[in-house]
Amino acid sequence: MDMSDAVIVKSSRLKSVVWNDFDRIKKGDTCVAICRHCKKKLSGSSSSGTSHLRNHLIRCQRRSNHGVAQFITSREKRKEGTLAIANFNLGQDQSRDETLSLVNIKFEQTQLKDESVNAGTSTFDQRRSRFDLARMIILHGYPLDMVEHVGFRVFVKNLQPLFELVTLNRVEADCIEIYEKERKKMNEMLDKLPGKISLSVDEWTAGGNAEYLCLTANYIDESWQLRKKILNFIRVDRFHTEDMLSEAVMTCLMDWDIDRKLFSLILDSCSTSDNIAIRISERLSQNRFLYCNGQLFDIRCVINVLNIMAQHALGAVSEIAEKIREIVRYTKSSQTVQAKFNDMAKEVGILSQKCLFLDNPLQWNTTYSMLEAALEFKDVFILLQENDTSYRICLSDVEWERISTVNSYLKLFVDVIEIFTRSKFPTANIYFPELCDVKLNLNEWCKNSDEYISSLALRLRSKFDEYWEKCSLGLAVAAMLDPRFKMKLLDYYYPQIYGSMSPGRIEEVFEGVKALYDEHSIGSPLASHDQGLAWQVGSGTLCLPSSTKDSRDRLMGFDKFLHETSQGEGVKSDLEKYLEEPLFPRNVE
């Protein structure tokens, strides 16, 4: 078209924001819109609208694109409710079948009401966007190949046409680069860490019997906050030996250069863990890296121990538990039986809010809940047996008594595990009084007049004692450093647990704390931070786990004991000063 005698239409007559990027040329009855960036000519007549002009701006390679929103002014938002998006090709490497035409897609603009975007306030950064994508994949566990999904590519291209879509290999490389940077930062942080590190080692099994080791560092940072970071997640051979596992852990410790900072190793309670802990302890002891000659090094997961004990307890009454499953199945087999059961429950005066349900035999806590509900309806089951000829499952009085006793054991385990898992700060000091109570209960259970139950209790106590012998010193030391307890908690519990041997056991804990204090004062930079053991009643910076508020507070006896005893002796060191100070009240949050 010859534009020599064309007339430029003044922009003041043009209301759409797109005319900020186009010149409208009129020659006779024909109007042309010329892009100011690439000089392409498009229809500029009023009957053609402006959608095709906006679509061109989205694709225009010579224009710095800042997103679709910048083309929408407050005036247009009230006038138009849709945005036309032109066709585009998803990439030369994709087939024509994957080329999607997205025309007249609805675009909600109510949230943009009375807003406008300044086109000159931001610039697009390909590299930053690429790593934002990689971080999103890492953060949410998305599959790497999502970058090849057609829908994702369409979404991203419409959102920001300037973004160059990445391949699976590229995003994988970006994820690794992010990991290496974060690893370097973590390495520097651990190197500067003034305190010690406790390392937990968990074995994970995935689909296809793939096995992994997960190594997690637990430490107190410079702001005295409890932190937890996964250091390694490594695959191990299915047929691994104890030497292979201990060597894998040592390799990770050396790679992170934290072997000299290790305080304790936390493992599951099994025989394999015994040998792994011994091997690693021997390696570290050669360089005298461990406090207290390694007495506090080998720590086991107590929840794992309680889970094993609960499974042993249920195994001892498995036949009775199976009968109760059959009772529940029958009761819920039809609406008629269920209605009859409900009527009988009203007849015997049971108004329980619990509902009968079948457990998952692989999850012992569901079996506990099933048995707990069934025991509340015991009288209804007995009445049902007398009045329903189809009901053929019968539990003797002895069986009801045994299942009731075992379920009371399970209740203790459930309560203790709940206290540990619901704690925001699961530090060792909150474990000690709960586990002392478990120890005392096990001693009582062994005195049961039913030989079958007492035999079971002996087996449970034997399993718990394996854990207790390994970990009680560390737990007692932690409780002693709790300003609410100090030595008084040992003075209360140990005579009940050890009888005449308690003075020697208490002295052993005191010597352990003293040795730990001496080594820490000499070897740790924290000793120069003037932090010390500055826990005093009324301190505004003291952070303590809240005490439990349930009706079964196992420390009520301890509170009574405090009123009947007096404080200790003279002052010789900061440690003894700490022990001499009044206890911090347990009821202060």
pLDDT level of residue 48 (50, 70, 90 thresholds) = confident
What tokens were used for 574?
């900061």
pLDDT level of residue 65 (50, 70, 90 thresholds) = very low
Q: What does the alpha-carbon distance between residue 180 and residue 258 come to, in Å, rounded to a whole number?
A: 18
Q: What does the alpha-carbon distance between residue 479 and residue 182 come to, in Å, rounded to a whole number?
A: 35
- Residue linked to tokens 């694109």: 65
Domain boundary among the residues 84, 112, 140 is at: 112
Let me know if residue 432 belongs to a domain.
yes
Instruction: Tell whether 140 and 211 lie within a shared domain.
Output: no
Let me know if residue 540 belongs to a domain.
yes
Number of domains in the chain: 4
Let me know if residue 341 belongs to a domain.
no
Let me know if residue 360 belongs to a domain.
no
Does residue 110 carry a pLDDT above 80?
no
Point out the least confidently predicted range of 255-259, 264-268, 348-352, 410-414.
Answer: 348-352
Q: What does the alpha-carbon distance between residue 401 and residue 375 come to, in Å, rounded to a whole number?
A: 10
Instruction: Tell whether 150 and 200 lie within a shared domain.
Output: no
Does residue 75 carry a pLDDT above 50?
no
Residue 230's φ and ψ, nearest 5 degrees, are: -75, 125
Report pLDDT for 523: 60
pLDDT level of residue 41 (50, 70, 90 thresholds) = confident
Report pLDDT for 271: 60
Average pLDDT over residues 499-513: 93
Let me know if residue 97 belongs to a domain.
yes
Average pLDDT over residues 264-286: 82
Instruction: Tell whether 249 and 108 lie within a shared domain.
Output: no
Mean pLDDT of the chain: 80
Report pLDDT for 83: 36
Q: Is the dihedral of CA 455, 460, 463, 467 positive or negative?
A: negative
Domain that holds residue 149: 126-174
Does residue 491 carry a pLDDT above 90?
yes
Q: Exposed, middle or buried, 139 (CB in 10 Å: 0-12/13-18/19+)?
A: exposed
Determine the residue type at 216. T
Domain boundary among the residues 281, 300, 319 is at: 300
Average pLDDT over residues 120-136: 87
Q: What does the alpha-carbon distance between residue 295 and residue 471 come to, in Å, rounded to a whole number?
A: 9
**CATH number of the domain that residue 230 is part of:** 3.30.420
Q: What angle do CA 398, 400, 404 make, to 5 degrees?
A: 115
Q: What does the alpha-carbon distance between residue 225 and residue 221 come to, in Å, rounded to a whole number?
A: 6
pLDDT digits (tens, 9 = 90+) for 442-471: 999 999 999 999 999 999 999 999 999 999
Does residue 583 carry a pLDDT above 80?
yes
Let me know if residue 339 belongs to a domain.
no
Average pLDDT over residues 36-48: 83
Closest CA to 262 of 252, 270, 272: 252
Q: What is the pTM of this model?
A: 0.68
Who wins on pLDDT, 283 or 588?
283
Report pLDDT for 49: 81
Q: Is the dihedral of CA 40, 41, 45, 47 positive or negative?
A: negative
Instruction: Tell whether 280 and 244 lie within a shared domain.
Output: yes
Let me know if residue 388 belongs to a domain.
no
Let me know if residue 365 belongs to a domain.
no
Report pLDDT for 572: 60
Determine the residue type at 204. W
What tokens were used for 150?
């057609």
Who wins on pLDDT, 588 or 55?
55
Who wins on pLDDT, 292 or 29?
292
Instruction: Tell whether 97 and 135 lie within a shared domain.
Output: no
Report pLDDT for 115: 37
Who wins on pLDDT, 550 or 290?
290
Instruction: Tell whether 158 and 251 lie within a shared domain.
Output: no
C-alpha distances out from residue 192 to 225, 251, 318, 354, Å: 15, 21, 53, 54
Instruction: Tell whether 574 and 429 lie within a shared domain.
Output: yes
Instruction: Tell whether 154 and 232 lie within a shared domain.
Output: no
Contact 37, 21 (CB under 8 A): yes
Instruction: Tell whether 51 and 153 lie within a shared domain.
Output: no
Average pLDDT over residues 84-100: 38
Domain boundary among the residues 300, 328, 350 is at: 300
Instruction: Tell whether 457 and 534 lie within a shared domain.
Output: yes
Does residue 76 carry a pLDDT above 50?
no
- At a CB cut-off of 8 Å and minimum separation 6, what does 151 contact? none
Report pLDDT for 23: 86
Average pLDDT over residues 320-347: 91
Task: Indicate the helix (H) or strand (E) that contains 157.
Answer: helix 150-159
Does residue 398 carry a pLDDT above 50?
yes
Instruction: Tell whether 55 and 134 lie within a shared domain.
Output: no
- Residue linked to tokens 């970071």: 229
Q: What region does 104 belong to: left with phi over 0, alpha with psi -120 to 50, or beta? A: left
Instruction: Tell whether 452 and 573 lie within a shared domain.
Output: yes
Point out the least confidently predicted range of 5-14, 362-371, 444-453, 503-512.
Answer: 5-14
Q: What does the alpha-carbon distance between residue 265 and residue 393 come to, in Å, rounded to a whole number?
A: 49
